[in-house]
Amino acid sequence: MPRPLPRFPEPDTEKFWEATKRHELTYPTCDSCSAIIFYPRQHCPQCGSDKQTWHTSRGEGTVYSYSVIRQNRNPSFKDLGAYALAWIDLDEGFRMMSNVTGVGDPTKDIKVGMRVKVQWEDQPDSELSLPLFVPA
C-alpha cells in the first residue's frame, strides 16, 4: 500500500510537491524580510508578506532529533518494521521532518548530529517523490 500523499489543489505546499517530481528539495524565502519559510505557506510567519522566492536545497544536513517507531497501525506503514522519523537541519538553514533510511538498524545506527543527505522515494501510481534521508 502506498504512503499517504497530499491532495491537490494545495495552495501552501503545492510548489514544494511539484518540485519533488523532479527530485528537487525546494524551500521559499521571504522577499520582504529574507526569512526562510519552512514548512511552505502562503505568507511569511515573520512579517506576513506574501512575496516569496523559491530556492533549491542541496539536500544535505544533520539529524537534529529522531524517534524510532516500532509499531504503526496505519496499513501504509505495516511493511516498514521499525523506522526512524527525524527532524533534519538542512545546511541552508531550515528544519524539516522526514525519515532516515539506509541504515541496518534504526534503533542503533542513527545519532543526533549525524550527517545525512536526501534520497528520493518515487511513489507508485503518483508522479510525486518523497524526500527521505540517508547517511551522508
Residue 8 lies in a domain: no
Task: Provide the domain count of the chain.
Answer: 1
> Which of 16, 12, 38, 29 is closest to 129 using CA atoms?
16
**Greatest CA separation found in the chain?**
45
Residue 112 lies in a domain: yes
| Mean pLDDT (whole number) for 55-67 | 98
89: part of which helix (H) or strand (E)? Answer: strand 83-90
| Residue 8, helix vs strand vs coil | coil
Residue 94 lies in a domain: yes
Residue 54 lies in a domain: yes
Amino acid (one-letter) located at 79: D
The enclosing domain of 127 has a CATH number of 2.40.50.840
Residue 9 lies in a domain: no
Residue 40 lies in a domain: yes
Q: The pTM is what? A: 0.93
- Given a cut of 90, is residue 94 above it in pLDDT? yes
How confident is the model at residue 91, as a pLDDT?
Answer: 98
Residue 19 lies in a domain: yes
Task: Answer for the pair 20, 119: CB distance below 8 angstroms, yes or no.
Answer: no
Burial 38-74 (b: 16+ CB within 10 A, else e): bebeeebeeeeeeebeeeebebbbbbeebeeeeeeee
Confidence band (pLDDT; 50, 70, 90) for 81? confident
How confident is the model at residue 1, as a pLDDT?
Answer: 65
Residue 67 lies in a domain: yes
Write out the residue range of the structural domain in which residue 46 sits: 14-135
pLDDT digit string, tens, across residues 104-123: 999 999 999 999 999 999 99
